[in-house]
Amino acid sequence: MTQYDKRTQALTHPSSLTTTLQSKSRSRTPTRSRGGSNRSSGGSSGRRPARTAATPAESNGKQAGAPAAPDPVAARPTRVEIPEVISVRDLAKIMGANAIDIIKTLMSLGMMANINELIDFDAAAIVGEELGIEVVRETIAEPEVEPGSEGPKTLRERLIEMEEDPTKLLERPPVVTILGHVDHGKTSLLDVIRNTNVVARESGGITQHIGAYQVEMDGRKITFLDTPGHAAFTAMRARGAQATDIAILVVAADDGVMPQTREAIAHARAARVPIVVAVNKVDKANANIDRVKQQLADIGLQSDDWGGDTTVVPISAKKKLNIEELLENVLLVADVMNLKANPEGAAIGTVIEANQDKHLGNVATVLVQKGTLHAGDPLVIGQDWGHIRAMFDDAGRPITAAPPAMPVLITGLQGVPAPGDIFQVVENDRLARQIASERVQKARAMTHETKPTLSLDDLYRQIQSGDIKELNLIIKVDVQGSLEPIENSLKDLSNEEVKVRILHQDVGAITDSDIMLAAASRALVLGFHTTVDAAARRNAEQSGVDIRVYNVIYEMIDDISKALKGMLEPVYEDRLIGKAEVRAVFQIKGRGKVLGCLVVDGIVKRDSLARVVRHGKEIHRGKITSLKRYQDDAPEIRAGYECGLSINDFDTPAEGDTVEAIERVRVR
């Protein structure tokens, strides 16, 4: 319906606008299905004749003293912003139009929608075009990637920057994660801390595993995250959700520093989290604390009693030895960090873990990082939304409010979020649904858009644009002796524009853990005389991490140096994609010689490069200009099929020759 029709109906029948529109809606459908012949011939059900006849009457009616209805178009905006999805009722309100008009327009598009139904942006834009209103997408404020080598800022950093009134910041408990090598006692330590400090569960509380706990020490609280190792710790950070303030590194006094210990240190350093070392199992006969301190000093963690700045506490989780001293040192580090948060306003925080419980439905353990979370709050949580039906603390007791740094279990979610997802309380359920739907559609649109976290090819451009201030590197080599010269040579490449920072270096293959660390820290992964695990390669492709493996140290250093200067050129290699044996040679008039072949391996493609091998030696290289299967042109022929092909400028074929189809592939 045009704007002119609506104006006419409102002016002539202001008291029965709804009834008129409904009756016209019932009568219009059969008229339109007959091709609109009545409309052009002046039938009573057409739009144009009604408009022509009503125009003079409008003027006469106004002069006769009839009450003039307000012009609905005059108050109608010319441009509106709407979200990705919106209900018909809300769209009508924003556009200043009658909901029935919008429903009728949607019906003409083949969409049967009631007043409460949600429609997408494209449908709403067409409705706006019918009403003469420009419709644009409303943007929801999302965390953006800040310039700098550390990638997206974590939620904790963004919350601190957002706070406009420092007087509202109050001291909060520190959030601690326990990291270390397998079998060094991480779980035992957490169990001892939890069982000796957590208040006993009350009757009626739930027994659901919550994944995070609060303990008390000298009247102050400490929050511990029960995460399964440093891989999960970094996976959360990769989603911009660093919840940890302090890392406790557990090292066994009898084993010393192990490979996973070094990995855990690298992950904690990349997150710029202070480390408190707990040397466990000091009660064992073969415990050697000094040896552990020496090993830690060798990798940059020098104990404070050796003149360094790393707190090292000897403990025994089994004997419950020095546990309180460890917690006191954690609080001391927290005092130095001056951890604060604003308990006022809508809550924002991080998902620690989530699952589907057969009794409670979809549940999630969340850590509040700003504001106070209340039972009954509507919230957006990753790509899902929910309305909190109930909250429980780490002892299983139902609660109604959770301040900053408090972990709680919440119910009432529409889906199961992922660990590391950010949650945020919003005004109402409708807005929560809207934001969640927009995120889902945005995620679908980006499914096939894998962008590298950091590419060596694009490094110079990012440096010039100010996106990169530090070049983060992860180095894996075959032998320990290769690490020092590589590390020293790479650090010497630092300049005024960018600093080379080595996050992690170790001996062995490039693993999935290396890729996770690189994705979270926007780092390049460099290998020297080493291999890449299959899982690591798949993960790198999915997350866009650039892996470079070298056999010569000079080539590695030269590539990084050229990339920093914007001089790196791509390197290509020939990759065999198929083989064909020449079984016969045919002389075709006007076309030269055609090779009758049987494809014995892979695939042969038209227009691909081919090399002809005779008696083990390459005798010709040229482009496959023609490829046929019987009399028909074919783009490619697979193994087991015969074909006829011609190779550019090859005039001396012979039976028994081998044609190898190759393609040029960029390797770096």
Across 85-94, 120-129, 488-497, 525-534, the highest mean pLDDT is recorded for: 525-534
Task: State whether 582 and 624 are in the same domain.
Answer: yes
Task: State whether 505 and 586 are in the same domain.
Answer: no
Domain for residue 415, yes or no?
Answer: no
- Integer-rounded Cα Rg, in Å, for the chain is 35
Task: State whether 187 and 334 are in the same domain.
Answer: yes
Task: State whether 11 and 84 are in the same domain.
Answer: yes
Helix (H, G, I), strand (E, B) or coil at 11: helix
When the pLDDT of each residue in the chain is averaged and rounded to a whole number, the result is 77
Is the per-residue pLDDT at 126 higher than 70?
A: yes
Confidence at residue 2, expressed as pLDDT on a 0 to 100 scale: 45
pLDDT digits (tens, 9 = 90+) for 422-446: 898 988 888 888 888 888 877 766 5
Retrieve residue 266's tokens: 């690298």
* H or E element in which residue 646 lies: strand 642-647
Is the per-residue pLDDT at 519 higher than 70?
A: yes
606 contacts 635 by C-beta, under 8 angstroms: yes
Is the per-residue pLDDT at 626 higher than 60?
A: yes
Domain that holds residue 507: 459-569
Task: State whether 179 and 273 are in the same domain.
Answer: yes
* H or E element in which residue 594 lies: strand 592-605
475 contacts 485 by C-beta, under 8 angstroms: no
Is the per-residue pLDDT at 80 higher than 70?
A: yes
pLDDT digits (tens, 9 = 90+) for 556-605: 888 888 777 765 556 677 888 999 999 999 888 777 889 999 999 999 99
pLDDT band at 457 (very low <50, low <70, confident <90, very high): low
Task: State whether 499 and 634 are in the same domain.
Answer: no
Instruction: Return d(Cα 329, Cα 511) in angstroms, integer.
Output: 34
Among 525, 542, 569, identify where a domain stops. 569
pLDDT digits (tens, 9 = 90+) for 150-171: 444 555 555 555 555 678 888 9
Task: State whether 171 and 308 are in the same domain.
Answer: yes
Confidence at residue 377, expressed as pLDDT on a 0 to 100 scale: 92
Task: State whether 513 and 647 are in the same domain.
Answer: no
Task: State whether 529 and 627 are in the same domain.
Answer: no
Among 569, 593, 627, identify where a domain stops. 569
Domain for residue 395, yes or no?
Answer: no
CATH number for position 239: 3.40.50.300
Task: State whether 102 and 18 are in the same domain.
Answer: yes
Confidence at residue 149, expressed as pLDDT on a 0 to 100 scale: 38
Task: State whether 181 and 100 are in the same domain.
Answer: no
Confidence at residue 88, expressed as pLDDT on a 0 to 100 scale: 85
Paired with 362 in beta bridges are 356
High-pLDDT (> 90) share of the chain, %: 21
pLDDT band at 374 (very low <50, low <70, confident <90, very high): very high
Task: State whether 130 and 26 are in the same domain.
Answer: yes
Query: What average pLDDT score do residues 253-281 get?
Result: 87
pLDDT digits (tens, 9 = 90+) for 353-363: 888 888 888 99
CATH number for position 643: 2.40.30.10
Retrieve residue 66's tokens: 């009839």
Domain for residue 142, yes or no?
Answer: no
Burial annotation 393-424 (CB, 10 A radius, 16+ → b, else e): bbbbeebeebebbbbbbbbbbbbbbbbbbbbb
Confidence at residue 359, expressed as pLDDT on a 0 to 100 scale: 84
Domains in the chain, number: 4
